[in-house]
């Protein structure tokens, strides 16, 4: 599934067929994916899946009208039919004054850097099954673990090729390997769940099945004996493993499309301090083996490192070409591939600057409060920033864990929460967002 002559020839043909059908301009993409996954429960095979697929997509423009569609038919007849269908759709589409290809001056140039996104390891179904069994077994060996929600291992290899009628051609291939399990702890009539899961670009970078399983089992067993707490205001620490969930609304709120529509609680905050002094979020698309790495965006645009939050100040909107036109700004490499539709907006690898205090020190300095280790059913008003979420975790007093906690909520306004967030020193790097634990003092906790 490499960037080969078949895929480039198909895209060149699509673009040419679109031009022959009357398109003023177009962009085409090729996507291929193969994956294998194995799932087990209590040591027995639950399911084995293998998927393979290839597709092409075309977005065509006639003036300010546009349309897009995709197809799995890569034959000459299929490509021509797709092009003619998309151009016909564009002719019937309403005008969009912000539609159009990315201007050539913003396209990525200079070829692909070595980002180490693709590994050569190809685990067999039998190997994946064995990994899943070992991972689950390690969790079941932890005292207090009596059952399992299952374990799984998977492999994926994906290729994406993008071309435009303005002359851009680019390709990216990436592998992904995942392993994890979800144990169930039981005591009397009480039942608790937790999990541990890791995904890496390179197979050898995965932690061992036994380590992942052990962590999952220990986390789950610790949750037995959970209680509610009284409604109050207290310090809340969001464990690094899930701290990204309180930050994630930021990226939706600074998406140019949200800002242009006026549906963002940050729409008038550009250039202002929205986090505490010293708070920093940096983006880097060129991290080797990073899960969010790329050398061009979803429109073929150039990408570059950027500091989104600098000393607490919001420095930029995330823009694709359409959002940039709406806001009268320049696109900045944040388009995501539409592949059958208009491009979206997203980020690459993100890094939240850590603080100096580890998790025990954060708890000790806070005295008492809630350490959140699980979050579910979040509610957010994107216009105001009012936010609430169900949580579970641990109540701590005198800097020490007192008991597990469940069935509580935390709530507040994200503008207020962001302004008071402080970072711990404990970095979690399991995904495209590298982040430490985050603490906010005096947050509303809803309990009994």
Segment 52-56 shows an average pLDDT of 96
pLDDT higher than 90, residue 41: yes
* Residue 447's pLDDT band (cuts 50, 70, 90): confident
Distance CA 258, CA 317 (A): 10
pLDDT higher than 60, residue 239: yes
Q: Which secondary structure element, helix H or strand E, spans residue 291, and what is its range?
A: none
Distance CA 97, CA 371 (A): 49
User: Contact at 8 Å (CB) between 420 and 414?
Assistant: no
Torsion angle of the four alpha carbons 225, 228, 233, 238, in this order, in degrees rounded to the nearest 10:
50
Classified as helix, coil or strand, 73 is coil
pLDDT one-digit tens code per residue, 307-320 = 999 999 999 999 99
Share of the chain above pLDDT 70, in %: 99
Tell me which CATH code domain 125-159+166-222 carries: 3.30.2290.10
* Residue 4's pLDDT band (cuts 50, 70, 90): low
pLDDT higher than 60, residue 2: no
Tell me the backbone φ, ψ of residue 362, rounded to 5 degrees: -60, -45
DSSP conformation letters of 318-371: B--HHHHHHHT----S-EE--SSS--EE---EEEEPP-S--HHHHHHHH-SEEE
Strands (E), 63-123: 65-71
pLDDT higher than 80, residue 276: yes
* Residue 371's pLDDT band (cuts 50, 70, 90): very high
Domains 5-33+49-106 and 125-159+166-222 share a fold: yes
pLDDT of res. 262: 96
pLDDT of res. 1: 36
Segment 39-56 shows an average pLDDT of 96
C-alpha triplet 273, 279, 283: angle, nearest 5°: 100
Say if strands 400-413 and 335-336 run parallel, antiparallel, or are unpaired: unpaired
pLDDT of res. 111: 79
pLDDT one-digit tens code per residue, 119-155 = 999 999 999 999 999 999 999 999 999 999 999 999 9
What number of other Cβ atoms are within 10 A of residue 75's Cβ? 10
C-alpha triplet 174, 178, 181: angle, nearest 5°: 170
DSSP summary character for residue 204:
G
Give domain limits for the chain.
5-33+49-106, 125-159+166-222, 226-448
pLDDT of res. 389: 96
Segment 250-255 shows an average pLDDT of 98
* Residue 5's pLDDT band (cuts 50, 70, 90): low
| Average pLDDT, rounded, for the chain | 95
Q: Which CATH superfamily is domain 5-33+49-106 in?
A: PmbA/TldD superfamily (3.30.2290.10)
- What does pTM read for this prediction? 0.94
Segment 380-397 shows an average pLDDT of 97
pLDDT higher than 60, residue 3: no
Give the helix, strand, coil percentages of the chain, each rounded to 5: 25, 40, 35
């Amino acid at each position: 599934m490499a960037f080969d002559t078949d895929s480039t020839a198909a895209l060149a043909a699509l673009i040419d067929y679109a031009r022959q059908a009357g398109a003023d301009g177009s962009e085409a993409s090729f996507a291929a994916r193969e994956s294998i996954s194995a799932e087990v429960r209590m040591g027995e095979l639950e399911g084995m899946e293998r998927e393979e697929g290839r597709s092409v997509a075309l977005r065509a423009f006639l003036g300010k009208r546009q349309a897009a569609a995709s197809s799995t038919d890569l034959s000459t007849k299929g490509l021509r039919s797709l092009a003619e269908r998309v151009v016909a759709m564009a002719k019937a589409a309403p005008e969009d004054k912000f539609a159009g290809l990315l201007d050539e001056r913003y396209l990525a140039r200079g070829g692909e850097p070595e980002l180490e996104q693709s590994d050569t390891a190809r685990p067999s179904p039998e190997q994946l099954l064995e990994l899943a069994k070992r991972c689950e077994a390690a969790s079941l060996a932890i005292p207090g673990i009596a059952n399992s929600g299952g374990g799984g291992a998977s492999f994926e290899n994906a290729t994406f090729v993008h071309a435009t009628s303005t002359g851009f051609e680019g390709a990216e291939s990436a592998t992904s390997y995942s392993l994890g399990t979800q144990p169930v702890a039981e005591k009397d009539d009480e039942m608790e769940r937790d999990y541990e899961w890791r995904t890496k670009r390179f197979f050898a970078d995965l932690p061992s099945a036994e380590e992942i399983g052990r962590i999952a089992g220990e986390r789950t067993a610790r949750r037995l004996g959970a209680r509610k707490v009284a409604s109050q205001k207290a310090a809340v620490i969001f464990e690094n493993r899930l701290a990204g969930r309180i930050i994630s609304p930021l990226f939706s709120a600074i998406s140019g499309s949200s800002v242009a529509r006026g549906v963002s609680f940050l729409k008038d905050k550009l250039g202002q301090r929205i986090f505490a002094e010293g708070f920093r979020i940096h983006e880097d698309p060129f991290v080797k083996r990073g899960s969010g790495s790329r050398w061009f965006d979803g429109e073929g645009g150039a990408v570059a490192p950027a500091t989104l939050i600098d000393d607490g100040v919001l420095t930029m909107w995330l823009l694709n070409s359409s959002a940039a036109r709406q806001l009268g700004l320049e696109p900045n490499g944040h388009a995501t591939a539409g592949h059958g539709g208009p491009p979206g907006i997203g980020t690459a690898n993100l890094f939240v600057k850590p603080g100096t205090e580890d998790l025990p020190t954060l708890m000790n300095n806070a005295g008492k409060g809630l350490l959140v280790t699980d979050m579910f059913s979040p509610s957010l008003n994107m216009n105001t920033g009012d936010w609430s979420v169900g949580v579970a975790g641990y109540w701590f007093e005198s800097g020490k864990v007192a008991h597990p906690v469940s069935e509580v909520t935390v709530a507040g306004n994200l503008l207020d929460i962001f302004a008071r967030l402080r970072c711990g020193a404990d970095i979690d790097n399991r995904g495209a967002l590298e982040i430490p634990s985050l603490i906010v003092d005096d947050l509303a906790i809803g309990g009994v």
